[in-house]
Amino acid sequence: MRVFKFTAVTAVALFSVSLAACGGDADDSTAGSAAPTMTTAAPTMAASAPAAMDMVNFGPGCAAVPTDPANKGSFEAMAQVPVATAASGNPLLSTLVSAVKQADLVDSLNTADGITVFAPTNDAFGKIPEADLNKVLADKTTLSSILTYHVVSGKLTPGELAGTHKTLQGGEVTVSGGGEQFTVDGKAGVICGNVQTANANVYIIDTVLMPKS
The pLDDT, as a whole number, for residue 14 is 39
Give me the DSSP letters along 168-212: TTSSEEEEEEETTEEEETTTEEEEEEEEE-SSEEEEEESS-----
Residues 22 and 81 reside in one and the same domain: no
Domain that holds residue 8: 1-53
The pLDDT, as a whole number, for residue 12 is 38
Residues 44 and 102 reside in one and the same domain: no
**Start-to-end Cα distance in the chain:** 113
The pLDDT, as a whole number, for residue 15 is 40
Number of domains the chain contains = 2
- CATH code, domain carrying 187: 2.30.180.10
193 falls within a domain: yes
The pLDDT, as a whole number, for residue 52 is 53
Residues 66 and 102 reside in one and the same domain: yes
213 falls within a domain: no
Instruction: State pTM to two decimals.
Output: 0.76
Q: Beta strands 181-184 and 172-178: pairing type?
A: antiparallel
Q: To 10 degrees, the CA torsion angle through 85, 91, 95, 97?
A: 0
From the list 187, 189, 164, the residue with the least C-alpha distance to 175 is: 164
The pLDDT, as a whole number, for residue 208 is 98
The pLDDT, as a whole number, for residue 91 is 87
Q: Are 117 and 202 in contact (CB under 8 A)?
A: yes
212 falls within a domain: no
The pLDDT, as a whole number, for residue 40 is 46
What pLDDT tens digit does each residue of the chain (213 aa) get?
444 344 444 443 434 434 344 444 444 444 444 444 444 444 444 444 445 556 689 999 999 999 999 999 999 999 999 999 999 999 899 999 999 999 999 999 999 999 999 999 999 999 999 999 999 999 999 999 999 999 999 999 999 999 999 999 999 999 999 999 999 999 999 999 999 999 999 999 999 999 987
The pLDDT, as a whole number, for residue 51 is 52
The pLDDT, as a whole number, for residue 53 is 54
Q: To 10 degrees, the CA torsion angle through 212, 132, 86, 173?
A: 10
Residues 74 and 154 reside in one and the same domain: yes
Residues 48 and 97 reside in one and the same domain: no
Residues 22 and 86 reside in one and the same domain: no
Residues 187 and 97 reside in one and the same domain: yes
How far is Cα 187 from Cα 165, in angstroms, rounded to an integer?
Answer: 16
